[in-house]
Amino acid sequence: MAREFTSVGVVGLGTMGAGIVEVFARNGIEVVAVEISETAVERGRATLTGSTDRAVAKGKLAPADRDALLARVNWQVGLDALHSVDLVIEAVPEHLDLKQRIFAELDRVCKPETILATNTSSLSVTEISVATTRPNQVIGIHFFNPAPVMKLVEIVRTVVTSAEVVADVEALCERLGKVDVTISDRAGFIANALLFGYLNHAVSMLESRYATREDIDAAMKLGCGLPMGPLALMDLIGLDTAYEILDTMYRRGGRDRRHAPVPLIKQMVTAGLLGRKSGRGFYTYERPGSPVVVPDEQTPVTTESALADGTHGIAKVGVVGSGTMATGIIEVFAKAGYEVVSVTRGAEKSAKVFEAVKTSLNKGVVRGKLGEADRDAALGRITWSATLEHLADVDLVVEAVVEELSVKKALFASLDEICKPGVVLATTTSSLPVIEVAMATQRPADVVGLHFFNPAPIMPLVEIVQTIRTSAETTTTAKAVCAKLGKTGVVCGDRSGFIVNALLFPYLNDAVKMLEASYSTADDIDHAMKLGCGYPMGPFELLDVVGLDVSLAIQRELYLELREPGFAPAPLLEHLVTAGYLGRKTGRGFRDHTRR
């Protein structure tokens, strides 16, 4: 029989603590909510009232249930109020000495059988536990932000936590409607160990002006389907908390430079820019604690008319190639009203592409997303050719041929001879340096990367890659064209992986390393990222879809270009590729897809 928890204590009512109070009170458990001062108690109470009022307004909570929920919370200053609770969860700032002091005090105040839990994200639960005389009753219960919403709880068992305590806490999490994964005491546990290197990398992109905050966030939301971009997430977590987590992970987790907090974070914390909770972080919020972003001096001021001007003069577009990307891109341009000249290496290939475009447009008709007349008009706008000379009068060329530098360079040299002056020449390369392609022409200022995502007709993102020679006018035109295609164009520099792949693949690679180290299972790691961070797919599901060979190739490129030791491909990934386990396409990758 699992232990019955009738009352719990929560210490620290900040970003996490206030949410944890709500989780317990919602599930019929009495809560003693403790802070250091009356002001801090009031802030915690306001957070809970605000959150439950919003739930009532949205019809998710009945007013009577809200009142009952609020009545279950006993607000107090000081730890002495926790003398008779069954469990305490500590959620004070991420400092080891502070947590140790609190645990020593809790040990003195609480009943002997009380379980003492920490919500730490990165500190050693073991080190916290030895500040008490009951380390076997100390455990990590790591909730995710916002605690009432996110389903995951990481339960951290130290080498001395008793099996009974683990089982009791697991049963409690189930009662709270949470999904738990139980793991051992390692810096960052599962989710943060995979998340924070990515967040820190995103901040370094901003710090080095590689891309704007809006573009970095839009890229990850639209390119990977994440619920929020990394910089908005940093604001939600709190920059002070994020700094401490990174710093601890750096020191505890083998001094991986990717966890050394980017200097900008420390500067912002020192300046009081802590994120949502202080009303300003990477973004500016309506008021402290508000989720509503308001414009500030960094908000881009691209007007509709500026975008419209940018597309001025582009009516006819050439698309070179006959693969998946070229096919999708032809469809996208034709549907958006452009005249398209498709150039392939022969009539047979053109016929194949034509069939593929027609099939895809027909699917749109069947799904009621496209009228028959619009489909016919789109098809009617495409001319099929096997000679580059037909690109003599186009206004924009999008190249989507095989990912080989020599082939692309030769093609761009030909385009340079054939196309009229002033034409924008774009490459869809996902891994080659755009500048190499640009320098194969006499007009590098007109060359830009337009990195579409697969499937192009569906994915809303395009990375616009500007080289050090790309003119501002070319970039503006590229942005305007993306807008006319109904896509979000994000601008970035000419570095391996651009924004999305550079941020995504090291995280996937880290997940493989975590599996390889036997810290957790593929299922639990996938669960943690989906339920703790709201990712649409876990890393192993995604790797199997993308293909392990493709993932390995991208990771190798990133490693070779950036020489970051932490980017070295995981040996397990290499072995699986060598073994022919490439993911769904071969029936087996991290999982066996032949058995259902």
Ligand X SMILES: NC(=O)c1ccc[n+]([C@@H]2O[C@H](COP(=O)([O-])OP(=O)(O)OC[C@H]3O[C@@H](n4cnc5c(N)ncnc54)[C@H](O)[C@@H]3O)[C@@H](O)[C@H]2O)c1
What CA dihedral angle connects 289, 294, 296 and 298, to 10 degrees? 100
Residue 116: closest CA among 12, 28, 191, 10: 10
CB of 257 to ligand X, least distance (A): 21
| By the rule CB under 6 A, 47 interacts with ligand X | no
Q: Reduce the DSSP state of residue 461 to 3 states and report it.
A: strand
| By the rule CB under 6 A, 63 interacts with ligand X | no
Active site residue 575: no
Closest-approach residue to ligand X (CB): 14
Of the candidates 51, 121, 132, 488, which one interacts with ligand X according to CB under 6 A? 121
Q: State the Cα–Cα distance between residues 16 and 152, nearest whole angstrom.
A: 14
What CA dihedral angle connects 340, 341, 344 and 346, to 10 degrees? 130
| CA 303 vs CA 336, 424, 479, 482: distances in Å | 20, 22, 12, 14
| By the rule CB under 6 A, 248 interacts with ligand X | no
CB of 320 to ligand X, least distance (A): 47
Closer of 36 and 445 to ligand X (Cβ): 36
Closer of 245 and 462 to ligand X (Cβ): 245
Site residues (CB under 6 A) for ligand X, limited to 130-149: 142-143, 145
| By the rule CB under 6 A, 253 interacts with ligand X | no
Choosing from 192, 322, 342, 496, which is the catalytic residue?
192
Closer of 24 and 567 to ligand X (Cβ): 24
| By the rule CB under 6 A, 180 interacts with ligand X | no
Q: Does residue 146 have a cis peptide bond before it, meaning omega lies within 30 degrees of 0? A: yes
Closer of 120 and 477 to ligand X (Cβ): 120
Q: Reduce the DSSP state of residue 383 to 3 states and report it.
A: strand
Closer of 40 and 264 to ligand X (Cβ): 40
Size of residue set near ligand X by CB under 6 A: 27
| By the rule CB under 6 A, 102 interacts with ligand X | yes
DSSP assignment of 530-567 equals IIIH--SS-HHHHHHHH-HHHHHHHHHHHHHHH--GGG
CB of 339 to ligand X, least distance (A): 50
Closer of 261 and 310 to ligand X (Cβ): 261
Choosing from 142, 201, 259, 527, which is the catalytic residue?
142
Site residues (CB under 6 A) for ligand X, limited to 482-541: none
Q: What is the crossing angle of helices 239-252 and 191-207, to 10°? A: 110
How far from chain centre, in Å, is Cα 353? 33
Site residues (CB under 6 A) for ligand X, limited to 266-285: 277
Collect all residues with Cβ–Cβ distance below 8 Å to 477 and sequence separation of at least 6. 310, 311, 314, 396, 424
Q: Per residue in 366-391, is it b (16+ CB within 10 Å) or e — as a string?
A: eeeebeeeebeebbebbebbeebebb
CA dihedral (476, 482, 486, 491) positive or negative? negative
CB of 273 to ligand X, least distance (A): 14
Question: Per the structure block, which two tokens stand in for 79?
Answer: 């730890």
Backbone angles phi, psi at 441, to 5 degrees: -115, 170
Query: Residue 449's beta-bridge partner residues?
Result: 427, 465
Active site residue 142: yes
Closer of 95 and 363 to ligand X (Cβ): 95
Active site residue 509: no
Active site residue 94: no
| By the rule CB under 6 A, 116 interacts with ligand X | no
Site residues (CB under 6 A) for ligand X, limited to 191-210: none
Of the candidates 28, 50, 63, 93, which one interacts with ligand X according to CB under 6 A? 93
| By the rule CB under 6 A, 124 interacts with ligand X | no
Query: Residue 285's beta-bridge partner residues?
Result: 293
Look-up of token digits 């503006």:
476
Site residues (CB under 6 A) for ligand X, limited to 3-42: 11-17, 34-36, 40
Choosing from 51, 121, 430, 431, which is the catalytic residue?
121
Question: Do 403 and 430 meet the contact criterion of CB atoms below 8 Å apart?
Answer: yes
Look-up of token digits 């505890």:
252
Of the candidates 94, 168, 214, 217, which one interacts with ligand X according to CB under 6 A? 94
CB of 427 to ligand X, least distance (A): 39
* DSSP label of 123: S
CB of 45 to ligand X, least distance (A): 12
DSSP assignment of 250-310 equals HHHTT--GGGSPPHHHHHHHHTT--BGGGTBSSSEESSTT---EE--TTS----HHHHHHH
| By the rule CB under 6 A, 379 interacts with ligand X | no
In 103-224, at which residue ranges do the beta strands (DSSP E only) sit?
115-118, 138-143, 152-157, 179-184
Closer of 143 and 282 to ligand X (Cβ): 143
CB of 70 to ligand X, least distance (A): 19
Closer of 158 and 311 to ligand X (Cβ): 158
CB of 240 to ligand X, least distance (A): 6
How big is the CA angle at 513 (ends 526 and 196), to the nearest 5 degrees? 70
| By the rule CB under 6 A, 165 interacts with ligand X | no
Choosing from 154, 170, 331, 541, which is the catalytic residue?
154
CB of 362 to ligand X, least distance (A): 46
CB of 90 to ligand X, least distance (A): 8
Closer of 141 and 218 to ligand X (Cβ): 141
Single out the segment in contact with ligand X by CB under 6 A; choices: 129-137, 148-156, 238-246, 402-410: 238-246
Note the residues at the interface with ligand X (CB under 6 A). Answer: 11-17, 34-36, 40, 91-94, 102, 119-121, 142-143, 145, 237-238, 241, 245, 277
Which positions are catalytic? 121, 142, 154, 192
